Amino acid sequence: MKVVALYKWARDPEAATVRAGGVVDWGNAKMVAGDDDHAVIEVAKTLAEGGELVGLTLGDGDAAWAVARGVDVAYSVADAPYLADEATTAAIMAAAVKHIGGVDVVVIGDAEQQHPAVPGLLAGLLGWPALSAVGSASADGAKVTVERKVVGNIQTVSAGTPVVLGVAAAGEEAKPPGMMQMLQARKKPVTTLSLADLGVAADQGVTSAGTALPELEGAKMLEGSPAEVAAALVAALRSDGVL
């Protein structure tokens, strides 16, 4: 199968600093590997066995990250900015997948925390079905079989291709590549695409009217000696009727 692994297509929310009044300062934060991206590569590698594994990143995401993890061919849409409108991000991805051509499966981070609509939008724009919350997958002829966790159940779903799989990592990466692999990966060529090459624009259908601090700001902090805070907590929980 020809499999596209999408990685490093968003910024790390932890890179943002929240200033007084809720103003967000991203500094010069880059596109980084999301929590799920290492699992994306694993799933894509399994599906691409005997076929072709293509890595695709957006913006200033570093392609060596994926090459060091086993991607055969690396593409980057280098001038794709980080966008709040997930539909525009998905449109850029869809155009790149079409440009790459002949793709059977797109594997992308499920991104439930930050950009949960992107996998479904990407599938919708490609006219393909999508499955989210995928833990693992295997290829079976022209079909893929995925295992995923949905509301307390483990589900095995078989899917025809083409299909988009949203992968949720179960944890941190077990064994990141070493320094040598990273250095070698940097030597591999990356095909750079531009938005103009793909015939898409980064226009968003929403405009930000600003950020603010949330109204319910943080916890009611209990202060005093250990005995005092313990007594205050028990009293509060009793009066809330949760004890």
Partner 1 sequence: MSGAAWVIATDTKYLVSMVTAGAALGAAPTVVAVGPRDLAEAAAESGAGQVVWLEPTAGTPAEAYGPAVAALVTAAGPRLLLASSAAAARTLLGAAAAALGAATVSGAIAVEASGDKVAVKCSRLGGAVVETFEAAGPVAAVCQGYDAPAPGGAAPIESADLGQPAALTIADEHPAPGGGGLTEAERVVGFGRGIKVRADMAMVEELAAALNAAVGCTMPVADDYKWMDQYIGRSGLSIAPKLYLALGIQGSPQHTQGIRDVKVVAAINTDPEAPIFRRATYGIVADLYEVVPEILAALKS
- Separation between Cα atoms, residue 227 and residue 221, nearest integer Å: 15
Least Cβ distance, residue 202 to partner 1 (angstroms): 13
Residue 240 binds which entry of ligand FAD, partner 1, none, CB below 5-8 Å type-dependent: partner 1
According to CB under 8 A, which one of 29, 157, 182, 202 is a site residue for partner 1?
Answer: 157
Token pair listed for 144? 């893929």
Establish if 35 lies at the interface with ligand FAD (CB under 6 A).
yes
Least Cβ distance, residue 140 to ligand FAD (angstroms): 27
Q: What is the footprint of ligand FAD within residues 38-97 (CB under 6 A)? A: none
Of the candidates 134, 179, 177, 170, the residue with the CA atom closest to the CA atom of residue 44: 134
- Separation between Cα atoms, residue 185 and residue 71, nearest integer Å: 10
The nearer residue to partner 1, 140 or 180, going by C-beta atoms, is: 140
Q: What is the footprint of partner 1 within residues 211-230 (CB under 8 A)? A: 211-215, 218-222, 226-227, 229-230
The nearer residue to partner 1, 179 or 207, going by C-beta atoms, is: 207
Q: What is the H or E stretch that residue 216 is in?
A: none
Query: Max CA-CA distance within the chain?
Result: 67
Establish if 226 lies at the interface with ligand FAD (CB under 6 A).
no
Residue 118 binds which entry of partner 1, ligand FAD, none, CB below 5-8 Å type-dependent: partner 1
Q: How many amino acids of this chain bind partner 1 (CB under 8 A)?
A: 82
Q: Lay out the site mask for partner 1 across 7-36 (x = CB under 8 A, - = otherwise).
A: ------x--x-x---x-x----------x-
State the number of CA atoms in the 13 A half-sphere of 5 facing the CB: 32
Residue 117 binds which entry of ligand FAD, partner 1, none, CB below 5-8 Å type-dependent: partner 1
Q: What is the H or E stretch that residue 116 is in?
A: none
Partners of 77 in beta bridges: 58, 193
Q: Are 221 and 103 in contact (CB under 8 A)?
A: no
Establish if 14 lies at the interface with ligand FAD (CB under 6 A).
no
- Separation between Cα atoms, residue 137 and residue 127, nearest integer Å: 21
Q: What is the footprint of partner 1 within residues 165-184 (CB under 8 A)? A: 166, 168-171
Q: Are 158 and 165 in contact (CB under 8 A)?
A: no
Q: Which stretch binds ligand FAD (CB under 6 A): 13-21, 43-51, 89-97, 164-172?
A: 164-172
169 to each of 108, 110, 159, how far by Cα in Å?
11, 8, 20
What SS3 class is residue 65? helix
Establish if 169 lies at the interface with ligand FAD (CB under 6 A).
yes
Give the residues lining the site for ligand FAD (CB under 6 A).
35, 169, 171-172
